[in-house]
């Protein structure tokens, strides 16, 4: 145990934590193993992974099929440059063609969702030139590089702007957030003005090349739009000669039910980016998928983009194995049954806890938003509080939940309930029981 504490201190002393001041990462939990929906610390204490780590471990931990595929590739051909063909590349393409939306059949492989979005922006701006502007949304996260964070609406962009590490040409649209409508309207009598305003923006901005969206918003609230939103957005893009780009890094890979979140609305994008779940997070992967029309443009035009680790064989070997595991799992009906149970249990939590202002989501992708007052919807904390240095209410609750054996990802105003797709009803009940107890922390500070 002493050795583990020393090694945890070594990590904290010499490695930069992500999205935090260094003083906030002095005693990271030392993890030694993971299996199924649990991970274990150095004392063999189990923690139920109720958020799939960073909404990426969709198939749980320790999946033998994916691990064996990676091992076999490491023995055969651990690396070859992106300019060569090999069996791992061919097999990954075959597997993806079987699961990608129809028409998205040209791929660029990288090592993260951030990089997938970076590639998408470079490609679409070349393809759409001289148009170059991109419409994103305020409740969004698209990555940490200069391009990705420029597309991002949450507070992380503010810090990148301070560091002069953003790119021009990004404008932000209102979110389809019915609980906190930025236009102060109420569905269904709103006429879906949040999407109609995008049509106005395109016409007024000029030079708009693309609209970039998370089909179901990830980190920033699990926002599921009204049913008319995406069909109308697709029409608006078509009428204005603008590309629709779907960032399915979090929402893809059966997280919302079907393979892709946009499938819930029978809408197809021009470009789809994904990562995380495409290998179950066992190896770092990013995929940028485009139509043949976009690919044809680069027959003669140089796509000035690439990485040393583009199309890395170890990465690509995991993709067919993961896709096969998804097919087997969804064929059992387990995720479909459990997703309804998750919804039911979360709404029961809301009924019991006055601190819960809203429960929203789809499939295995939910937000539990907490508030000081249900009547006014006043939050405990705001965007600005997230990086102000203090402890948010969600921080307090998530910390207590971890001590009780459940890991749940928290943002400044909500918790992410996004367990691995292999989770059972009994394991959901175990996690909800712990949340039922720790949410009392916020209940005590609710304004009546």
One of 3.40.50.300, 3.30.360.10, 1.10.1040.10, 3.90.1150.10 is the CATH number of 2-62+333-443, namely: 3.90.1150.10
Confidence of residue 67 (pLDDT cuts 50, 70, 90): very high
Residues 211/239, Cβ–Cβ less than 8 Å: no
Instruction: With CA atoms as reference, report the closest residue to 317 among 105, 94, 33, 108.
Output: 94
Provide DSSP, 248-272. Answer: -TTTTTTTTSSSSGGGGGT---SEE
Q: What is the pLDDT of residues 156-174, one digit of tens each?
A: 898 888 888 899 999 999 9
In angstroms, what is the C-alpha Rg of the chain? 22
Whether the bond between 201 and the residue before it is cis, its omega within 30 degrees of 0, is: no
Rounded Cα–Cα distance for residues 76 and 335 (Å): 34
User: Does pLDDT of 435 surpass 90?
Assistant: yes
Rounded Cα–Cα distance for residues 412 and 416 (Å): 11
Instruction: With CA atoms as reference, report the closest residue to 274 among 423, 99, 145.
Output: 99
Q: What is the pLDDT of residues 348-369, one digit of tens each?
A: 999 999 999 999 999 999 999 9
Residues 59/325, Cβ–Cβ less than 8 Å: yes
What number does CATH give the domain 64-329? 3.40.640.10
Kindly report the pTM of this predicted structure. 0.95
Return the half-sphere exposure (C-beta side, CA atoms, 13 A cut-off) of residue 47.
Answer: 27
Tokens 């997938």 appear where? 116
3 state SS of 45: coil
First to last CA, the chain: 46
Q: Which two tokens stand for residue 354?
A: 């006055």
Instruction: With CA atoms as reference, report the closest residue to 110 among 154, 145, 71.
Output: 145
Rounded Cα–Cα distance for residues 58 and 60 (Å): 6
Burial 303-320 (b: 16+ CB within 10 A, else e): eebebebbbbbbbbbbbb
Rounded Cα–Cα distance for residues 376 and 353 (Å): 16
Rounded Cα–Cα distance for residues 92 and 316 (Å): 6
Do strands 286-291 and 104-110 pair parallel, antiparallel, or not at all (unpaired)?
Answer: antiparallel
User: Does pLDDT of 59 surpass 90?
Assistant: yes
Q: Looking at residue 159, what is its pLDDT? A: 86
Q: Tell me how many degrees the CA angle 39-40-45 measures, rounded to the nearest 5.
A: 130
State the CB neighbour count (10 A cutoff) for residue 174.
17
Per the prediction, the chain carries an average pLDDT of 95
Tokens 């040209």 appear where? 106
State the CB neighbour count (10 A cutoff) for residue 288.
28
Provide CB contacts within 8 A for 170, sequence distance 6+: 133, 134, 136, 150, 151
Q: What is the pLDDT of residues 249-265, one digit of tens each?
A: 999 999 999 999 999 99
Q: What is the pLDDT of residues 224-253, one digit of tens each?
A: 999 999 999 999 999 999 999 999 999 999
Rounded Cα–Cα distance for residues 338 and 146 (Å): 38
Rounded Cα–Cα distance for residues 21 and 10 (Å): 17
- Lowest average pLDDT, out of 23-27, 340-344, 380-384, 404-408, goes to 23-27
For 30, 33, 50, 426, the CA distances from 1, given in Å and listed in that order, are 10, 15, 26, 31
Instruction: With CA atoms as reference, report the closest residue to 173 among 155, 196, 147.
Output: 196
Confidence of residue 195 (pLDDT cuts 50, 70, 90): very high
Q: Looking at residue 151, what is its pLDDT? A: 97
pLDDT average, residue stretch 303-317? 94
Confidence of residue 1 (pLDDT cuts 50, 70, 90): low
Residues 97/323, Cβ–Cβ less than 8 Å: no
Residue 283 burial (C-beta neighbours within 10 Å; 0-12, 13-18, 19+): buried
pLDDT average, residue stretch 317-324? 98
Domain boundaries, the chain: 2-62+333-443, 64-329
State the CB neighbour count (10 A cutoff) for residue 198.
24
3 state SS of 163: coil
Rounded Cα–Cα distance for residues 432 and 406 (Å): 9
Measured over the CA atoms of residue 290, residue 294, residue 299 and residue 303, the dihedral's sign is: negative
């Amino acid at each position: 145990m002493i050795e583990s504490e020393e090694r945890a201190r070594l990590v904290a002393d010499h490695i930069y934590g992500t999205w935090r001041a260094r003083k906030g990462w002095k005693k990271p939990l030392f993890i030694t193993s993971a299996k199924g929906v649990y991970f274990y610390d150095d004392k063999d204490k189990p923690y139920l992974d109720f958020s799939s780590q960073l909404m990426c471990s969709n198939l749980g931990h320790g999946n033998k099929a994916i691990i064996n595929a990676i091992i076999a590739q490491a023995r055969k051909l651990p690396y070859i440059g992106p300019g060569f063909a090999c069996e791992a590349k061919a097999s990954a393409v075959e597997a993806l063609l079987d699961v990608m939306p129809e028409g998205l059949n040209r791929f660029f492989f990288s090592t993260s969702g951030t990089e997938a979005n970076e590639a998408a922006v470079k490609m679409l701006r070349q393809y759409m030139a001289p148009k170059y502007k991109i419409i994103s949304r305020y409740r969004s996260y698209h990555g940490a590089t200069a391009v990705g964070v420029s597309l991002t609406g949450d507070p992380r962009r503010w810090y990148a702007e301070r560091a002069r590490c953003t790119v021009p040409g990004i404008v932000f649209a209102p979110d389809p957030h019915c609980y906190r409508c930025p236009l102060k309207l109420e569905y269904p009598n709103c006429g879906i003005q949040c999407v109609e305003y995008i049509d106005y923006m395109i016409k007024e901005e000029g030079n708009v090349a693309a609209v970039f969206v998370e089909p179901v918003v990830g980190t920033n609230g699990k926002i599921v739009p009204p049913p008319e939103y995406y069909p109308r957005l697709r029409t608006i893009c078509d009428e204005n000669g603008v590309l629709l780009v779907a960032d399915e890094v979090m929402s893809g890979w059966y997280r919302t039910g079907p393979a892709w979140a946009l499938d819930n609305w029978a809408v197809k994008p021009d470009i789809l980016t994904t990562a995380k779940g495409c290998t179950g997070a066992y190896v770092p992967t990013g995929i940028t998928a485009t139509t043949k029309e976009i690919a044809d443009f680069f027959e003669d035009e140089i796509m000035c983009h690439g990485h040393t680790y583009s199309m890395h064989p170890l990465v690509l070997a995991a993709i067919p194995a993961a896709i096969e595991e998804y097919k087997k799992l969804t064929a059992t009906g387990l995720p479909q049954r459990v997703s309804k149970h998750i919804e039911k249990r979360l709404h029961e939590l809301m009924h019991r806890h006055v601190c819960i202002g809203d429960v929203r989501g789809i499939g295995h992708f939910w937000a539990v938003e907490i508030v000081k007052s249900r009547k006014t919807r006043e939050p405990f904390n705001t965007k600005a509080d997230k990086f102000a240095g203090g402890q948010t209410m969600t921080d307090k609750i998530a910390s207590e939940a971890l001590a009780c054996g459940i890991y749940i990802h928290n943002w400044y105003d909500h918790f992410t309930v996004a367990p691995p797709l292999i989770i059972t009803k009994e394991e959901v009940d175990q996690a909800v029981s712990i949340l039922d107890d720790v949410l009392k922390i916020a209940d005590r500070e609710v304004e009546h």
